[in-house]
Amino acid sequence: MPSSFLALTSFKDKYSTSPSSFQVSSGREVMENSVSLQESSLAPSNGTLGNSSLSPSIVTDHMCASALPHVQHSHNPAFISQSSRDLASLLPLDASFSQSTASLIHTQGNKDVSWSLDRLQMFLDLPENTPAPNQLVESSTSVLASEDHNKKTNWQEWADDLINVVDPDWSKILDNTNVLNPRVELPKPSGDISKQQPQFHQNQLVPHGEFSSHAYPSSTAPPTKPRMRWTPELHEAFLEAVNQLGGSERATPKGILKLMNVEGLTIYHVKSHLQKYRTARYMPETSEGTSEKRITSIEEMKSIDLKTSIGITEALRLQVEVQKQLHEQLEIQRNLQLRIEEQGRYLQMMFEKQKKVEDEKGGAPSSASDDLLAPLPGSKHPPCNNGKSDSEALEQDHSRTGIGPGNAGTNEDKSSSGVSTKQKMPETESTVHDESGFSVSKRARTEK
């Protein structure tokens, strides 16, 4: 199999409990280099493995091309494989994407995990079947959903068999792996699949990722996995449980899980969260002993960054000011964007209704407008007040002329999102009859 063998390892310094343990972390660095880095270091000691030859391979081009913000390099980038590790190779990919697919290995009983959460997530863009609490993302179904079932039970067994899941991020992967397999089956036939299935040990879990150009969900919805999304309330419950159990060091994930008693929360979620929590506590504690040194270094930093005459407090103040400003602007921008999209949706709905009505009635403008007037004002609530009045103006336009430039707002103030969209409406109305598609934006541009 001419696939390239790469093992992606991602890790974070503060997470490593031993020099040889790697875990996926969240960070902001881009991890392009690691792919090539691992290529040479991959020399798994497979001699002791009982299985037939398997080798890890990771998607290269596509993943390298995009920034992965949450993977960091650690000081020890070697790929460590141990005797109990089993490596599985996956299907070759379509040439348009890359030559290989990702394989991720998790072995029970050892702390070395080599994988990339990012990569996996890219593969796991299929609907997921396990619910998670507090998650705001609904999973959308894809064509592959129907095939999930036969594979689901397999993965559940593997997941259940895993006891020492060290890297808690795996949990999310594991929860989602049940949807991976069908993808593996779908595209280019490869004899490897059938060979690999029986190779799974009870102790091993190999989530397969497939990167194919053929298996696409037909819906336009982004196929999100219902990932665990923590909330402050949930965190409070977590803290309570931890404190009851005697502190972050003494509390065990299992105990916490039991105490929290939250439906849908898995031990993997708790594990990863506990890890984060421990790290967050550990750092300030270590710094307390060296607080004086820290302060002088902070002072130096600040004085280098910003003139000494300003002083730390002033530098901090300035920083806060600028940050506050950015926050404010972001809020404003986000609200604007929301309203713009809302208007766009409203517009489209109205155009579609009008089209539908015209198709049905076929040239009776006045009755068309009656139909329009009836459902719209009640069913939809425009985000701003002038939205309503303008929509009524539009409908009146329809009744008068069927199509034609209206008098919707002479307000040129573009900073009001609602008004600017209304302005376009009269111009675009005239185009609705010209083409069947709804291409407001295109027309608006050309008319401008």
Closest CB to another protein among residues 86, 185 = 185
| Shortest distance, position 198 Cβ to another protein, whole Å | 30
Footprint (CB under 8 A) of another protein, residues 335-354: 336-338, 340-341, 343-345, 348
Candidate residues 188, 195, 381, 445; the one interacting with another protein per rule CB under 8 A: 445
Q: Which stretch binds another protein (CB under 8 A): 79-87, 188-196, 202-210, 278-286?
A: 278-286
> Considering only residues 17, 36, 287, 407, which one is a binding residue for another protein as defined by CB under 8 A?
287
Q: Does 224 bind another protein (CB under 8 A)?
A: yes
- CA-based diameter of the chain, in Å? 84
- CA-wise closest residue to 92 among 196, 14, 177: 196
Three-class secondary structure assignment of 3-55: CCCCCCCCCCHHHCCCCCCCCCCCCCCCCCHHHHHHHHHCCCCHHHCCCCCCC
- Ranges within 51-70 binding another protein (CB under 8 A): 66, 68-70
User: Site for another protein (CB under 8 A): which residue of 188, 195, 258, 324?
Assistant: 324
Among 310, 364, 373, 384, binds another protein (CB under 8 A): 310
- What is the closest distance, in whole angstroms, from the C-beta atom of residue 447 to another protein in the complex? 10
Judged by CB under 8 A, the chain residues 226 through 245 that form the site for another protein are 227-232, 235-236, 239
Tell me the closest approach of the beta carbon of residue 313 to another protein, in angstroms: 7
Which of 43, 45, 137, 286 touches another protein by CB under 8 A?
137
Q: Is 188 in the site for another protein (CB under 8 A)?
A: no
Contact between 400 and another protein per CB under 8 A: no
If binding is defined by CB under 8 A, does position 317 make contact with another protein?
yes
**Residue 421, interface with another protein (CB under 8 A)?**
yes
- Please state the closest distance from residue 310 (CB atom) to another protein, in A: 6
Task: State the number of CA atoms in the 13 A half-sphere of 293 facing the CB.
Answer: 5
For residue 95, state whether it binds another protein (rule: CB under 8 A).
no
Whole-number minimum distance, CB 431 to another protein, in Å?
13
Nearer to another protein by C-beta: 70 or 208? 70
Give the one residue of 118, 148, 210, 390 binding another protein; rule: CB under 8 A.
118
x/- track of binding to another protein for residues 357-396 (CB under 8 A): ----------------------------------------
Size of the site for another protein (CB under 8 A): 100
What does each C-alpha distance from 3 to 14, 22, 89, 102, 103 come to in angstroms?
33, 24, 9, 11, 12
